């Protein structure tokens, strides 16, 4: 095992040791999931959409005990439990998404009452839950983290246009988003953790002859399983992948990690690196796009007009320019019909004129990632 992988394993063990002497936010999150009704009415309200926000209070009441328990954990350090088996169930991850839906519906309820600060807090809590979901976990935790955070990005974008927010509240939100980006669990760290957890699972499989046959068949591996041979293959590939994941997106696309066809164990157990990289990078673009939207609203509050270009935001509103993580270049910006638009070029790194991503299009979607800010909030 590489030195970097060992060092990361030691860091995670130390974090777990510390949390063994203190509260772990995960325990509160797990209890919150358990407190949700089997079929929470917030799920139904979420599916019905924002148009039913005036009727959202009854749905939030249904989930209130779960949300109260969730918030006990938000101020605590968090480490997800280790996944040490290929067939280990992770029901709490689906529960986190249901908690996220409850927070969204709660935010709608507050918006309908004109309680903009409380609505924003619901969406901020949603971001924190999403970010915590990736802490100490592998790739599946990171992907669920991105999905939960995605709920918050959608609601915050609309909140910024609608909210009758004061300048101090917007400055606070901008600072939180900047801190949020700094604290995100990086893709490289996720891949390091994925290797460690895979190693634990492989060694457990080697010690379990009864379960080994079925698992090998499911993974498409031949009998004659050797844990050390498999880990030797994975160590080389994961080592490459961690270095690759630290590169800027254009460079990573130009030099992808390729798994040899003859390395069947690596083919079966390695995550789909590029697909996950697209999702991680898209999430970064959404975080930076939100920062720019808040900065534009602050600028308009102060100047009563839109800036000529995004450079006008620096350094009075944001300390430095924000770059599109897909290209390393500035975000695109224009004003149409008294609305400001900023957008990332997305995975195809091509300017599609601000054509937004289609809902449900998945990683194959290649259009731009668009954020729009209306000039006048709607009540």
Give per-residue pLDDT as tens, 164-185.
899 999 999 999 999 999 999 9
How many angstroms separate the CA atoms of 221 and 226, rounded? 11
Q: Phi and psi of 23, rounded to 5°?
A: -70, 140
For position 214, what pLDDT does the model report? 72
Residue ranges of the chain with pLDDT lower than 70? 1-21, 52-54, 210-211, 218-219, 221-222, 224-225, 356-366, 376-379
Report domain extents, the chain. Answer: 3-185, 190-271, 277-374
pLDDT digits (tens, 9 = 90+) for 341-351: 999 999 999 99
pLDDT at 361: 40
Q: What angle do CA 173, 179, 180 make, to 5 degrees?
A: 85
Looking at residue 217, its pLDDT comes to 73
Share of the chain above pLDDT 90, in %: 64
| Cα 96 to Cα 119: distance, rounded to the nearest angstrom | 19
373: phi then psi, degrees, rounded to nearest 5: -125, 115
State the residue for tokens 């270049």: 329
Dump pLDDT digits (tens) for 137-169.
Answer: 999 999 999 999 999 999 999 999 999 899 999
Count Cβ atoms below 10 Å from residue 175 Cβ, excluding itself. Answer: 12
Query: What pLDDT is stored for residue 13 in this prediction?
Result: 45
Closest CA to 41 of 111, 125, 117, 101: 101
- What confidence score (pLDDT) does residue 9 get? 44
Quick one: pLDDT at residue 1?
Answer: 40
- Give dist(CA 44, CA 360) in Å, integer: 19
Distance CA 373, CA 36 (A): 35
């Amino acid at each position: 095992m590489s030195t970097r992988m060992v060092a990361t394993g030691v860091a995670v063990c130390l974090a777990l040791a510390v949390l063994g002497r203190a509260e772990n936010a995960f325990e509160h999150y797990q209890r919150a999931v358990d407190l949700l009704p089997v079929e929470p009415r917030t799920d139904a309200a979420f599916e019905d959409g924002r148009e039913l926000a005036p009727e959202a209070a009854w749905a939030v009441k249904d989930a209130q005990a779960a949300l109260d328990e969730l918030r006990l954990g938000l101020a605590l350090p968090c480490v997800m439990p280790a996944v040490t088996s290929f067939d280990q169930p992770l029901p709490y991850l689906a529960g986190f998404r249901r908690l996220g839906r409850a927070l969204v519906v709660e935010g709608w309820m507050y918006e309908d009452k004109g309680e903009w600060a409380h609505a924003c807090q619901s969406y901020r809590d949603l971001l924190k839950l999403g970010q915590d979901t990736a802490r100490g976990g592998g790739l599946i935790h990171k992907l669920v983290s991105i999905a939960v955070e995605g709920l918050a990005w959608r609601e915050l974008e609309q909140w910024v246009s609608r909210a009758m927010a004061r300048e101090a509240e917007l400055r606070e939100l901008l600072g939180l988003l900047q801190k949020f980006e700094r604290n995100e669990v990086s893709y490289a760290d996720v891949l390091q953790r994925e290797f460690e957890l895979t190693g634990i699972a492989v060694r457990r499989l080697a010690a379990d002859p009864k379960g080994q046959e079925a698992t090998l068949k499911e993974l498409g591996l031949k009998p004659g399983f050797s844990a050390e041979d498999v880990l030797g293959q994975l160590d080389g590939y994961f080592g490459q992948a961690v270095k690759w994941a630290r590169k800027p997106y254009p460079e990573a696309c130009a030099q992808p990690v390729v798994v040899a066809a003859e390395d069947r164990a690596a083919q079966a157990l390695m995550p789909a690196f590029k697909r996950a990289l697209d999702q991680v990078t898209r999430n970064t673009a959404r975080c930076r796009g939100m920062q720019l939207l808040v900065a534009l609203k602050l600028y308009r509050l102060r100047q009563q007009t839109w800036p000529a270009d995004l450079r006008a935001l620096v350094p009075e509103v944001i300390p430095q320019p924000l770059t599109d993580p897909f290209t390393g270049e500035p975000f695109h910006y224009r004003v149409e019909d008294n609305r400001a638009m900023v957008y990332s070029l997305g995975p195809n790194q091509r300017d599609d004129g601000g054509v937004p991503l289609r809902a449900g299009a998945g990683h194959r979607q290649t259009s731009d990632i668009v954020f729009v800010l209306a000039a006048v909030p709607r009540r």
